[in-house]
Amino acid sequence: MARVVRLVQTGPMKIEPAQTKPVWVCACGLSKTFPICDGSHKTTAKQEQPGKLYHYDPSTLDVKRIEDDPMAEASGEAKG
């Protein structure tokens, strides 16, 4: 069964293990090395507007479609 996963972060999450160096985990869903961040969010997050739902081509990260986010109104997020 296919599913849509709602990822709302525009950057990675930092994990600092006690014994090793920090690890950056993808929280935007665009990383080609998921679950490890590869910096893909740097090219997309600056272009995104609050209250919009973006659909990306997974191979090129080009925006395929933008629509109003039905969850934004429910959460109080401003539409842009």
Same domain, 79 and 55: yes
Q: Which domain holds residue 31?
A: 16-46
Q: What percent of the chain has pLDDT over 70?
A: 85
pTM of the model as a whole: 0.63
Plot region of 24 (φ>0 → left; ψ -120 to 50 → alpha; else → beta): beta
Query: How many structural domains compose the chain?
Result: 2
pLDDT tens digits, residue range 15-57? 888 888 888 999 888 888 989 999 988 888 788 888 888 888 8
Cβ atoms < 10 Å from Cβ of 69:
20
The answer to whether residue 11 sits within a structural domain is no
Given a contact cutoff of 8 angstroms between Cβ atoms, the answer to whether 23 and 33 are in contact is no
pLDDT band at 79 (very low <50, low <70, confident <90, very high): very low
Same domain, 68 and 40: no
